[in-house]
Chain A
Amino acid sequence: MKPAPFVYHAPKTLEQAVAVLAEVAPEDGRVLAGGQSLVPTMAFRLARPAHLVDINQVAGLDRLAVENDALAIGACVRHAAFHRPVAAGPLGDLLAFVVRYIAHYPIRTRGTFCGSLAHADPASEWCLVAATLGGEIVARSARGTRRIAAADFFQGLMATALEDDELLEAARLPVPTADTRWGFYEFSRRAGDYALAMALATFRLEQGVMVAPRMGLGGVEVSPRRIPEAEAMLTGEPPEIGIFRRAAEAAADAVDPLEDIQASAEYRRDLVRAVARRALERAAA
């Protein structure tokens, strides 16, 4: 299972990287960051890029810092960077909790946060986080920079709004307020496997009721997204099991589930009921 041949480029600056990418994109040139998703597809020869642009040596892509109420995550920031909270408050804790569900330890030393977003696997935890929290993607090409809201970024199964000549330079996650509650629940067959369904729920409590709730589901449809039907059901309600159940039921009704050998649509809806409710319970705990 050896990859098909390719020409290897290892730019040292971002300018060089996007210049090369502009040249090779028409011939199926791809960006190589962590490689933990790309290389297996190349081993199976499902992907046969004629060019790989390795950005691991590009200076300045490892930025990881809070700037203007958002956590900026550079293209080469590895999953492992999130093992310990990278910011004070709920966001750091949330990311440190979620990261443990991503594959396994050695994958996390190489794989990158931004790489997960660019790859857009429906079962990617970071994609769910970006979609639920309302993250922003910074796309850079020789033509310039543009910012894409997460809700617009994921466009289908393994498909994003990135143009062929664009590199995902950074992702920005808004920093939630210190009183934001969060809960994440994932169901997979084995530890470290792709999620068959996962939910990320956040809300604040004001005078005993939930305010600005967010309910995101991943691994269920072609792309992760927030479920407005569930969020509507939670708004203004106390954080109680009955409400959570109804919201989870609404979420199960609202989705158009993937079907594969591991899970039928009907079973995925069962899972949505469970993961959505459990994520909410964790947020309330």
Chain B
Amino acid sequence: MSGRDRRDTWVGRSIRRVEDFSLVTGRGRFTADLAATHWVRFVRSPVAAGKIERITAPQGATVITAADLAGVKPIRPMLHKFGYVPVDQPILASEVVRFVGEPIAAVIAASEEEAEDLADGVEVAITESTAVVRAEDALAEGAALVHKDVPGNVVVEARHATPDFNAARKAAHRLLTIEIRSRRQNAMPLEARGGHAAYDPASGRIFFTCSTQTPHLMRTAIADLIGMPESQLRVIAPDVGGGFGQKMSLPPEYVVLVWLARKLKSSVAWREDRRENLIAAFHSRDQKIRLEGGFDRAGKLVALSADVTANIGAYSCFPTTCAVEPLMALAELPGPYDIRAYSGVARGVLTHTCPMAPYRGVARPVITLALERLMDRAAAAFDLDPIEIRRRNLIDRFPYTSATGLVFDEASYRETMEMAAAALDVAAFRVRQRQARTIGRFLGLGLATFSERTGYGTPAFAARGMEITPGWEKVELTMDPSGLVEARIGASPHGQGLRTTLAQIIADELGIAPAQIVIVHGDTDRTPYGFGTFASRSLVIAGGAALIAARKVRVKLIKLASHLLEAAPDDIVLENGNAKVAGTDRELPIASLARAAYHQAHRFNGEIEPGITEAATYDPPGTFSNACHAAIVEVDIETGRVEIDKFLVAEDAGRLINPMIVDGQIHGGVAQGIGNALLEEIIYDETGNILTTTLADYLPPTLREIPPMELHHLETLSKETITGAKGLGEGGAIGAPAAIINAINDALSPFRISIDEIPATPQRIRAALRAAKANA
């Protein structure tokens, strides 16, 4: 419990999570914990591009290839916008391979070890062809095509321009440009992917347990591709060891498992290993962004143009399509700044690399890096403090409709920045910085202010043009005869604590304790259709639906109570598990109302439907939370190492349901942002061979790379969401890279270089310093 905790309601309190007991006692049930009769090992392409000539399996091995999957459709997500060209991803590579790690065959055996032994013996003859690995190579004249049907390897190119742009740019006092490069990331959930498909003899159905963030979407997609009725497939997301977006997209491997279970009429499982996950689980953030800002004499942005290129890999992820990163960048680039004149182009480029899919923040960490570097560059050009230039540019009147049509609701962009600045004591830091320089030590302070789009429903996804338009969530609430409440949700939490926070929301409405409320999720047989958990949506949308449903139950309980207590509904109060007549001592336990509803329905003269079950759907337009991140770093100029001395977050996510859980989300997001900024990079060589295949090559931060974090909060209640909450799961990852890179540049300002690439590895920093010295 913290000092910020509310005392009069469950909402706003840092109550302990109901999820924790089973997890700390080792009773969690993760996909890999299930035993199976058959085990699958995938044979994967050793080359980035080529024609499959022949697949030879060892004697006696059970191996399936694309030829066996003749009736299974390819993964082909669709986007109806910007001329997006759909591409097919065969479940197992057919005819050609398009990235190192692409699954070509599946070996089935009685144990994982045996399957791996046999897979080693599978020979795949591939005639290699030229691979395009970098976006610029894929865009070059005459470049090899990754897909025949996608000319120039451009799967989507989108443009947006406000009508006044050219005039505004011309009228600008000064033009400044920045070009940033964001290198490939792997979300690297600690639990890799995996699936367990079991044939249920009694019903003939398949029960598919898998590590996923979106059980219903998996069911829809897998059933559709295999050509089986959705009702014949049950998908279960058990305990899931982190997702961060990587597990919201459909892996072809999952389709193979369900197909096999049907064929073998048995249980078939696959446990992805870490090497496979690094190589073939969705990558992200491989982008280059060039911004040109036109500023007036006071340092105010009057025109912004953007050029975004995303290297989206060899295929398109279901359901968002690979256009998600470049198009989000295009739509959200103006960021939290007041810019009326905007022109942008964004393209998604195919290459012979692992496909990209959303990862915490999606395009936002990259656009924030670009905008915040531009702001700092402008601060230097105009000789303004980085805080002052942002003051002059941040949106401060709401609602604000952006140059791309996004509506920013009430928020606190400037307030959180001022809060961060005050907490940092910038003036004192500048003294310390000057003193340090005299003894050859280089400290820096960097900021990032940003908005985080959260809790958006179908209108937002529809605007993107997705064929499958997610957005709404439904919650079903049932109070059983004993007064216990079960809430069945279509969202699919995997660490966010939704079983606790939704219970808090419902508890306040019904006057009962959260311990009386069980949240059921992750099983498509038991829960209403929903879109899962991603995009910082679940608390806002599932929470909103839970609130509406709870209010319906509340109305019913009051009705029951008013009958049984013979009082007017307006006089009934629900609190502490009882329904009481206000101002009197007449009360009944809520449990007895439930019992009456089920077992004494005759008492209500047909005026009240028996039982207590209500449902509600919520589909909000979306909202924006915001934060300011600040980092203080020290750069060792001899080695290029960056140490983060302090990291500070001042954030505003509207009403906080459980402050402890909120802080945890920020901590985790910032840690991934630090990894993004300094350590993590998926590297390919020029032939498309992936070089970062172990955790000794791909470097997520350990405890020692993460400094203590100081968090400050504002709560600007959202009028756009029924709970007043705004969603914040991604924010930590969005602002941290920009704050750290700005801090590095501030530290190295005596050297007149600009570090604009992440991760800012020691090697890159040294190379920049060396080059600056050479040019000096």
- Does A touch B (CB under 8 Å) in the complex? yes
Q: With a CB–CB cut-off of 8 A, which chain A residues contact B696?
A: 193-194
The answer on a CB contact under 8 Å between B116 and A2 is yes
Whole-angstrom distance between the alpha carbons of A87 and B234 in the complex?
Answer: 64
Any B CB within 8 A of the CB of A190? yes
Q: Which residue of A lies closest to B767 (CB)?
A: A267
Q: Is B686 an interface residue (CB 8 A)?
A: no
B435 at the interface (CB under 8 A from A): no
CB distance from A210 to the nearest CB of B (A): 22
The answer on a CB contact under 8 Å between B638 and A273 is: yes
B705 to chain A: which residues have CB within 8 Å?
190-191
B contact residues, total (Cβ < 8 Å): 31
Q: Is the CB of B683 within 8 A of A261?
A: yes
Which of these, B641, B697, B702, B767, contacts A192 with CB under 8 Å? B702
B683 CB contacts on chain A under 8 angstroms: 261
CB-CB under 8 A from A2, the residues of chain B are: 112-113, 116
A1 beta carbon closer than 8 Å to chain B: yes
Query: In the bound complex, do residue B275 and residue A1 qualify as a contact, i.e. CB atoms below 8 Å apart?
Result: yes
Kindly list chain B residues whose C-beta atoms are within 8 Å of the C-beta of A261.
683, 691-692, 697
CB neighbours (8 Å) of B692 from chain A are 261
- Partner of B702 from the list A187, A191, A194, A267 (CB cut-off 8 Å) is A191
Q: Residues of B contacting A264 with CB < 8 Å? A: 763
A267/B117 contact (C-beta < 8 A), A1-B274, A191-B705 known = no
Task: Report the nearest B residue to A273, measured CB to CB.
Answer: B638
Q: Which of A44, A191, A266, A270 contacts B639 (CB 8 A)?
A: A270
B120 interface residue, CB < 8 Å from A?
Answer: yes
Of the residues A192, A262, A270, contact of B766 by C-beta under 8 Å: A270
Least Cβ–Cβ distance between B442 and chain A, in angstroms: 14
User: Chain B 698-720 against A: per-residue CB contact (8 Å), 1 yes, 0 no?
Assistant: 01011011000000000000000
How far is A262 from B704 in the complex, measured between Cα atoms in Å? 19
Contact B704 A187 (CB under 8 A): no
Cβ of B621 within 8 Å of any chain A Cβ, yes or no, is no
Tell me how far the C-beta of B697 lies from the nearest C-beta in chain A, rounded to whole angstroms.
7
CA A274 to CA B608, docked complex, whole Å: 80
CB within 8 Å of A: which of B383-407? none
B273 interface residue (CB < 8 Å to A): yes
Give every chain B residue within 8 A of A190 (Cβ-Cβ): 679, 699, 701-702, 704-705
Q: In the complex, what residue of chain B is closest to A270 when comparing beta carbons? A: B766
- A274 touching B638, Cβ below 8 Å: yes
Most chain A C-beta atoms within 10 Å of own C-beta, residue among B640, B696, B762: B762
Contacts of B699 in A (CB 8 A): 189-190, 193
Which of B112, B679, B694, B704 sits near A44, CB closer than 8 Å?
Answer: B694
Task: Let me know if A45 is at the binding interface, CB within 8 A.
Answer: yes
Q: Which residues of A contact B763 (CB under 8 A)?
A: 262-264, 267
**Contact mask B263-295 → A, CB, 8 Å, 1/0?**
000000000011100000000000000000000
Residues of B within 8 A of A270 (CB): 638-640, 766, 770
Task: Give B273 Cβ to nearest chain A Cβ, in Å.
Answer: 4
A residues less than 8 Å from B762 (CB atoms) = 189, 267
1/0 contact string of B634-655 vs chain A (CB within 8 Å):
0010111100000000000000
CB nearest neighbor in A for B704: A191
- Check A250 for interface membership: any CB of B closer than 8 A: no
* Nearest-Cβ distance from residue A33 to partner chain B, whole angstroms: 20
* Distance, CA A72 to CA B710, complexed state (A): 49
Q: Which of A260-285 contact B (CB under 8 A)?
A: 261-264, 266-267, 270-271, 273-274
Docked pose: A266 CA to B767 CA in angstroms: 9
Q: Which of chain B's residues have a CB closer than 8 A to the CB of A5?
A: 113, 117
Any B CB within 8 A of the CB of A39: no
Q: Interface centre among B691, B696, B763, by most A CB within 10 Å? A: B763
Report if A4 contacts B (CB, 8 A).
yes
For B116, list chain A residues within 8 Å (CB): 1-2
Shortest CB–CB separation between residue B465 and chain A, in angstroms? 38
Return the contact of B273 from the options A1, A262, A274 (Cβ within 8 A): A1
**C-alpha gap A264/B770 in the complex (Å):** 13
Most B C-beta atoms less than 10 A away, residue of A44, A261, A263: A261
Which of A237-270 touch B at CB < 8 Å? 261-264, 266-267, 270
- Collect the chain A residues with CB atoms within 8 Å of residue B704's CB: 190-191
Q: Which residues of B contact A194 (CB under 8 A)?
A: 696
Interface residues on A, range: 20 to 34
> Which residues of A205-247 are within 8 A (CB) of B?
none
Q: Which residue of the partner chain A has the closest CB to B678?
A: A189
Residues in chain B near residue A192, CB distance under 8 A: 702
CA distance A279 to B705 in the complex (A): 23
Q: Which residues of A contact B113 (CB under 8 A)?
A: 2, 5
Identity of the chain A residue whose Cβ is nearest the Cβ of B675 in the assembled complex: A190
A58 to chain B, nearest CB (A): 28
User: Which parts of B640-699 form the interface with A (CB within 8 Å)?
Assistant: 640-641, 679, 683, 691-692, 694, 696-697, 699
A271 to chain B, nearest CB (A): 6
Contacts of A193 in B (CB 8 A): 696, 699
CB neighbours of B636 from chain A (8 A):
274
Chain A residue at minimal CB-CB distance from B41: A2
CB distance from B258 to the nearest CB of A (A): 24
Q: Which of A4, A189, A194, A263 neighbours the largest number of chain B CB atoms within 10 Å of its CB?
A: A189
- Residue numbers in A under 8 Å from B702 (CB-CB): 190-192
A173-217 contacts to B (CB < 8 Å): 187, 189-194
> From A187, which residue of chain B is reached at the shortest CB distance?
B639
Give residues of chain A (156-187) contacting chain B, Cβ–Cβ below 8 Å. 187
**In the complex, what residues of B have CB within 8 A of residue A187's CB?**
639, 641
Bound Cα distance from A192 to B704, whole angstroms: 10
Could you tell me if A267 and B766 are in contact, using CB atoms closer than 8 angstroms?
Answer: yes
- For residue A279, give the distance in angstroms from its CB to the closest CB of chain B: 13
Shortest C-beta distance, B137 to chain A (Å), equals 19
Task: Tell me the bound Cα distance from A228 to B36 in angstroms.
Answer: 61
With the chains together, A191 CA to B120 CA distance in Å? Answer: 35
Docked pose: A189 CA to B679 CA in angstroms: 8
Give every chain A residue within 8 A of B112 (Cβ-Cβ).
Answer: 2
| Nearest-CB residue, chain A, relative to B681 | A261
Q: Please, which residue of chain A has its CB at the minimum distance from the CB of B764?
A: A267
Q: Mark B513-553, 1 if CB is under 8 A from A, else 0.
A: 00000000000000000000000000000000000000000
Q: Which single residue of chain B is at the shortest CB-CB distance from A263?
A: B763
Tell me, in angstroms, the Cα distance from A189 to B640 when the chains sit together. 10
Chain B residues lying within 8 Å of A45, measured Cβ to Cβ, are 120
Give per-residue flags for B310-341: 1 if the beta carbon is below 8 A from chain A beta carbons, else 0. Answer: 00000000000000000000000000000000
Distance, CA A274 to CA B640, complexed state (A): 11
Q: With both chains docked as a complex, state the minimum distance between the C-beta of A42 and any C-beta of chain B, in angstroms.
A: 12
Nearest chain B CB to A131's CB is how many angstroms away? 23
Q: Specify the chain B residue showing the minimal Cβ separation from A48.
A: B120
CA distance A191 to B702 in the complex (A): 8
Q: How far is the CA of A5 from the CA of B60 in the complex (A)?
A: 18
Tell me the complex Cα distance, A270–B683, Å: 23
Contact with B along A1-42 (1 / 0, CB 8 A): 110110000000000000000000000000000000000000
Instruction: State how many angstroms separate the Cβ of A259 from the closest Cβ of chain B.
Output: 11
Chain A window 137-165, contacts with chain B (Cβ cutoff 8 Å), 1 for yes, 0 for no: 00000000000000000000000000000
Closest 5 CB pairs between A and B? A191-B704, A274-B638, A1-B273, A2-B113, A267-B763
- Ordered by A's residue number, 27 sampled pairs between the chains whose C-beta atoms are within 8 Å are A1-B116, A1-B273, A1-B275, A4-B117, A5-B117, A44-B275, A44-B694, A45-B120, A187-B639, A189-B699, A190-B701, A190-B702, A190-B704, A190-B705, A191-B702, A194-B696, A261-B692, A261-B697, A263-B763, A264-B763, A266-B770, A267-B640, A267-B763, A267-B766, A270-B639, A274-B636, A274-B638
Interface, chain A (partner B; CB < 8 A): 1-2, 4-5, 44-45, 187, 189-194, 261-264, 266-267, 270-271, 273-274
**B contact set with A: CB distance below 8 Å:** 112-113, 116-117, 120, 273-275, 636, 638-641, 679, 683, 691-692, 694, 696-697, 699, 701-702, 704-705, 761-763, 766-767, 770
Additional A-B contacts beyond A191-B702, A270-B770 (13; CB < 8 A): A1-B116, A1-B275, A44-B275, A44-B694, A189-B699, A190-B704, A193-B696, A193-B699, A261-B683, A261-B697, A264-B763, A270-B639, A270-B640
